[in-house]
Amino acid sequence: MDARALIVCAAMAVAAGLVGCFAVMRRMTLAADAFSHVALPGIGLALVLRLNPLIGALVALLAGSMLIWAIEGKTKLSTEAVTGVVFSVALAIGSLTATGEELIDALFGTPGSMTIAETIFALVAALAVIAFILKARDRLLVSLVSTEVAIASGIGVTSLQLSFLVAFAVTVALGMRYLGVLLMGSLIIIPATVAKRLARSIDGMFAIAIGAALASTLLGTWIAAFAHRPSGPVIVGIAGGLFFLSLVKLPAPRPKAYADKETPAHDS
Amino acid sequence: MPTEVPERRITGQYAGSVLEVDRLTVSFDDTVILADLSFSVARGASLAVIGPNGSGKTVLFRALIGAIPYAGTIRWAPGTRFGYVPQKLDIERDLPITGRDLLRAKLTISHAAKEEALDALKRVDLREEVLVQPIGSMSGGQFQRLLVAFALIGKPDVLLLDEPAAGVDAPGQQALSEAIRRLQQDEGVTTLLISHDLSVVYHYASSVLCLARERSSLGPPQVVLTPERLSEIYGTPISFHLHDDHGR
């Protein structure tokens, strides 16, 4: 693997780890996975129009996130429910607009080196996502605890929600080249889930999620190249392994009565 | 000053209002929760909102901060800064967010110095050691105090408190009431407080807004909190014990 691809991979993993933290804490886990399917009609259409599938995926994901955000705001349904609907429809349209090997490649990732344009796009997009999450972390955190408290604190909750969905969409599109959009959902969710189980503060969660995403991506890419296997499944396999390890490491959950006491006993 | 006005026009007792509400109506689908409610709150006043369950107290607060759609007018004085303490929040127990994370977030959002957080903690009588715990593992009372401390950061002009003492132990409740009273009396912070504790309302509120489906009313506690008026509002005979000031 060349150095250029390695840098892009690392940036993508950091973005996925960070976005994943808030996706997992907002209980968007399943929605996040389903969301990646929204890329399908865009990829299909791009193939028909002989455009780069990445452009198609990105446009579809952005349009999908706008649609989900708008329906969510209008109906007060949960992100999960709305994504479920949009994803099914997208999958139906996607399978009508395109078939063939290229589509499979887009879904499960394509090995091979990236063009300079692709590299620049991927790097800029990954850095933009990372910058957004780090800049918006306090606002995201407060609105996660309570929407009302966030509004009263002067946070534009609706636009923040849209920005987050867009960051999510961009991250999924980023992973298309290496992991494929289907597996990228897993790279967003699994490291963040590992982090949620192990961390006791938000900085801890960020660090563990980034570490797990980086380790899975870099180690997975290396093993895949060594064993002549597609990188996507190997990367997700390693992330899954880390998740099962985190189960072993987890301290016993505090009984409820424990936490209800005014002065809780020492944490085990 | 009227205690009940047929036109639902209820006026606060001071001039220079920080909040003016005119013909506020909130409905969810076909259910009207608040209908044609008008009142104003003077700067520095301490308004208690009481009423039976389902009378729309929390809905009123949510409308006031702009979290839900409504008809009518809500006018805050320009540049008003809020502190809002919601009714008991249901937090996922395993969120890796500590009290410190939450307070630090508020400091950044409101561009406040670290000292403000320390001052807020002192006011609500919450020890700094508690802050290293994830919020999901705090006791109900600790978390509630944390939320009040969160609201105090950023020097709010108006505090909206929705049953802030729910789940807090007796000494904690006293500390909270004291802290709120001091903020209102010594620092001129306007407080809007939803409370079911009528003796707290009687002692601390300068005026009481009583929400009832048929007739909402506003007046000083001595006028609104009479046994006759209360049984009319709650639909059942009700009385409350008034502590004397030395016994607080």
Nearest by CB to residue B86, choosing from A149, A200, A256, is: A149
- Residue contact A260–B140, C-beta within 8 A: yes
Whether residue B189 sits in one domain with residue B72: yes
pLDDT at B14: 41
Whether residue B161 sits in one domain with residue B146: no
Is B103 among the domain residues?
Answer: yes
Whether residue B2 sits in one domain with residue B32: yes
Whether residue B137 sits in one domain with residue B243: no
Average pLDDT, chain B: 82
Q: Which helix (H) or strand (E) holds B141?
A: helix B140-152
- Closest CA–CA distance from residue A96 to any residue of chain B (Å): 38
Where do the structural domains in chain A lie, given as residue ranges? 3-250
Most B CBs within 10 Å: which of A76, A146, A194, as the mutation test of the B interface? A146
pLDDT band at B84 (very low <50, low <70, confident <90, very high): very high
Q: Which of B155, B190, B205 is the endpoint of a domain?
A: B155
Q: Which residue has the higher pLDDT, A28 or A67?
A: A67
CA A117, chain centre distance (Å): 23
Whether B7 shows a pLDDT value over 50: the answer reads no
Whether residue B243 sits in one domain with residue B166: yes
Q: Could you tell me the CATH number of the domain that includes residue B244?
A: 3.40.50.300
- Residue contact A141–B101, C-beta within 8 A: yes
Is the predicted ipTM greater than 0.95, yes or no? no
- Closest CA–CA distance from residue B131 to any residue of chain A (Å): 10
**Residue A141 near residue A33, CB atoms below 8 Å:** no
Chain A contact present for B164, CB below 8 A? no
- Residue contact B109–A201, C-beta within 8 A: no
> How many Cα atoms are found within 13 Å in the side-chain-facing hemisphere of B241?
3
Chain A residues whose CB is inside 8 A of the B83 CB are 152
Cβ atoms < 10 Å from Cβ of B62: 22
- Residue contact B139–A153, C-beta within 8 A: no
Q: Which of B103, B135, B155 is the endpoint of a domain?
A: B155
- CA separation for the pair B49, B61 (Å, rounded): 10
Chain B residues whose CB is inside 8 A of the A200 CB are 96, 98, 134
Chain B residues whose CB is inside 8 A of the A141 CB are 97, 101-102, 105
Cβ atoms < 10 Å from Cβ of A6: 14
| Model confidence pLDDT, tens digit, residues B226-235 | 777 777 777 7
Is B85 among the domain residues?
Answer: no
Chain A residues whose CB is inside 8 A of the B106 CB are 138, 142, 153
Q: Which of B129, B155, B181 is the endpoint of a domain?
A: B155
| Model confidence pLDDT, tens digit, residues A200-250 | 999 999 999 999 999 999 999 889 888 888 788 888 899 999 999 988 865
pLDDT band at A32 (very low <50, low <70, confident <90, very high): low
- Closest CA–CA distance from residue A216 to any residue of chain B (Å): 22
CATH architecture classification, A3-250: Orthogonal Bundle (1.10)
Any idea what DSSP says for residue B242?
Answer: P
Is B41 among the domain residues?
Answer: yes
**Residue B120 near residue B152, CB atoms below 8 Å:** yes
3-class DSSP state for residue A266? coil
Q: Which of A98, A23, A85 is nearest to A56 (CA)?
A: A98
Mean pLDDT, to the nearest integer, of B201-218? 81
Cβ atoms < 10 Å from Cβ of A139: 21
**Residue B68 near residue B15, CB atoms below 8 Å:** no
Whether residue B174 sits in one domain with residue B55: yes
3-class DSSP state for residue B71? strand
pLDDT at A257: 43
Q: For A188-197, A245-254, B40-49, B102-111, which range has the lowest pLDDT when averaged over its residues?
A: A245-254
Whether A111 shows a pLDDT value over 60: the answer reads no
pLDDT at A150: 93
Residues of chain B above pLDDT 70, percent: 88
Whether residue B149 sits in one domain with residue B167: no
- Residue contact B97–A202, C-beta within 8 A: yes
pLDDT at A212: 96
pLDDT at A190: 93
Chain A contact present for B171, CB below 8 A? no
- Residue contact A145–B93, C-beta within 8 A: no
Mean pLDDT, to the nearest integer, of B87-95? 79
pLDDT at A1: 59
Mean pLDDT, to the nearest integer, of B195-218? 81
Average pLDDT, chain A: 82
Mean pLDDT, to the nearest integer, of B164-175? 79
pTM of this prediction? Answer: 0.83
pLDDT at B238: 67
pLDDT at A253: 53
Most B CBs within 10 Å: which of A140, A148, A198, A261, as the mutation test of the B interface? A148
Whether residue B238 sits in one domain with residue B119: no
Q: Which of A187, A174, A192 is nearest to A61 (CA)?
A: A174
Please name the residue of chain B whose CA is at the shortest distance from the CA of residue A257: B139
Angle between helix axes B140-152 and B99-109 (nearest 10 degrees) is 20
Mean pLDDT, to the nearest integer, of A177-204? 87
B188 is in which domain, residue-wise? 1-80+157-248
pLDDT at B6: 36
β-bridge pairing B207-210 and B217-219: antiparallel
Domain count, chain B: 2
Is B24 among the domain residues?
Answer: yes
Alpha-carbon dihedral angle through residues A9, A11, A17, A19, given to the nearest 10 degrees: -120
Whether residue B182 sits in one domain with residue B69: yes
Whether residue B218 sits in one domain with residue B104: no
Please name the residue of chain A whose CA is at the shortest distance from the CA of residue B143: A262
Most A CBs within 10 Å: which of B97, B138, B163, as the mutation test of the A interface? B97
Q: What residues pair up with B46 in beta bridges, in sequence order?
A: B191
Angle between helix axes B114-124 and B140-152 (nearest 10 degrees) is 140
- Residue contact A261–B139, C-beta within 8 A: yes
Whether residue B102 sits in one domain with residue B76: no
| Model confidence pLDDT, tens digit, residues A57-104 | 888 888 888 888 888 777 777 777 787 788 788 878 777 776 667 667
Whether residue B141 sits in one domain with residue B56: no
- Residue contact B82–A152, C-beta within 8 A: yes
